[in-house]
Structure 1
Amino acid sequence: MMKVITYSRVSTSGQDYNRQIEELRTFCEKMKWKIQKEFSEVISGALKTNERPVLTKSIHFVKVNDIQKVVVWDLSRLGRNTLEVLKTIQTFTDQKISLYIKNYNLETLDLDGKTNPLTSFMIQILLSVSSLEREQIKERMVSGYKRHLKNGGSVGRKKGYRKTDEEILNHYPDVIKYLKKNRPIREIMKLTDRSSGTIMKVKKIMSK
């Protein structure tokens, strides 16, 4: 039976990766692939691979456990940094481990363990489109922000409003998780995309 792992990711604590996990689990069962371990994390896909603890662990796991295939729900779950994603795929390929992308039914290696040229081509296109979409979203956000200010709009909280300690803690469960693990502030900033000021504020509230 084919030995595989699954990897799932969402960017923020407000998102849920359980649907990805369930779909991958059902799919692997249908394909009669044996899942050796399920990896999942809440972290930005724009970070480098070595800044993503769970992805790094999954790469090490497949190397030492004779894993034949890594299954992801979508290519963007592996990452949104084109160079880093290609490096990760190459790492798998060098170990004769195939990457299977479920929503596109793409696989990096064929049955003989050789690189599938069509999949390589499609991955390049998908990563390019994803990068272009991110840039367009950023441009629209900046344009909308400027238009809002030009029309007399304001930004930030209403004057006099202040969040309670409980509201702040409820808003930053990802920061709390890493603070409880005694991770350094700089590392938490990378893992959560939060500012040092926000992390210090949460830390201060937790110490009360």
Structure 2
Amino acid sequence: MMKTVIFARVSTNVQEYDRQINELTTLAKSNGWSVEAVFAEKISGAKSNKERTELLNMVSYVEANHINKVLVTELSRLGRDTLQVLEVIQMLNEKGISLYIQNYNIETLTKDGKVNAMSQFLITILAEVARMERKTIRERVESGYKNYRANGGKVGRKIGYKKAEETIREQYTEEIKLLKKGYSLRNISKITGTSINTIRKCKSLI
């Protein structure tokens, strides 16, 4: 049976990746593929690969467990920086592991394990489009902030925010230590008994 893992990502703590996982689980079942593990993270796709613990865990897992495919709903879930995305794909290619992108129904490797040149070309274009979209959005946000401030608006933390932040740091020191060590939110919740939502707040302070 074809062995796969699911990789899901959302950019912020308020978003959820359940839909991605459910869609890819259904896809795997319909194709007779086994899902050996699920890796999911809440982090900006613009971050470097070395800053993304779950992504690195996934790469290590697929190599150690002889996985055939990595499943993502769309390329941007793997990341939004072109070079970082291509770096991950290259690592997978070298290990003979295909990346399957659901919304385009394409894979990086052919059935005989060779690099799919057409898919590789398309992926490079898609990754660059995602990077350009992110750049455009950032420029629009910055322009909006400038206009807002020019018209007398104030941007920044509300009064009292700093105090709340210090209280969280003091109350959840163990959770913050585990986050810094790279533990996932779910694992920290199991270890400490703290809710995942609270751990997310701790993560935002790191």
What interval of TM-score do these two structures reach, taking the shorter chain for normalisation?
0.7 to 0.9
Give the corresponding residue for 1:102. 102
Give the corresponding residue for 1:57. 57
Q: Give TM-score, length-normalised by structure 2.
A: 0.78
Answer yes or no: is 1:181 the counterpart of 2:178.
yes
User: How much does 1:178 deviate?
Assistant: 5.0
Q: Secondary structure at the match of 2:66?
A: coil
In structure 2, relative to structure 1, the CA distance for the partners of 1:154 and 1:78 (3 Å cut) is: same
Unaligned runs of 5+ in 2: 182-199
Identity of aligned residues (%): 45
Answer yes or no: is 1:45 the counterpart of 2:45.
yes
Structure 1 runs (4+) greater than 6 angstroms displaced: none
Q: Which has the higher contact order (CA 8 A, sep 6+)?
A: 1
Where does 1:166-177 land on structure 2 (aligned, <5 Å)? none
Write the deviation string for residues 12-61 of structure 1: whole angstroms up to 9, x where unpaired: 21110111111110111011111111111222222222221111111111
Across the aligned residues of Structure 1 and Structure 2, the Cα RMSD in angstroms comes to: 2.8
Unaligned runs of 5+ in 1: 185-191, 200-208
Give the corresponding residue for 2:72. 72
Give the corresponding residue for 1:6. 6
Give the corresponding residue for 2:22. 22
User: How much does 1:183 deviate?
Assistant: 2.2
Distance 2:70 2:40 in 1: 13
Q: Give TM-score, length-normalised by structure 1.
A: 0.78
User: How much does 1:177 deviate?
Assistant: 8.5
Where does 1:126-205 land on structure 2 (aligned, <5 Å)? 126-156=126-156, 161-163=159-161, 165=164, 178-179=175-176, 181=178, 183=180, 198-199=205-206
Write the deviation string for residues 83-104 of structure 1: whole angstroms up to 9, x where unpaired: 1110110111111110000111
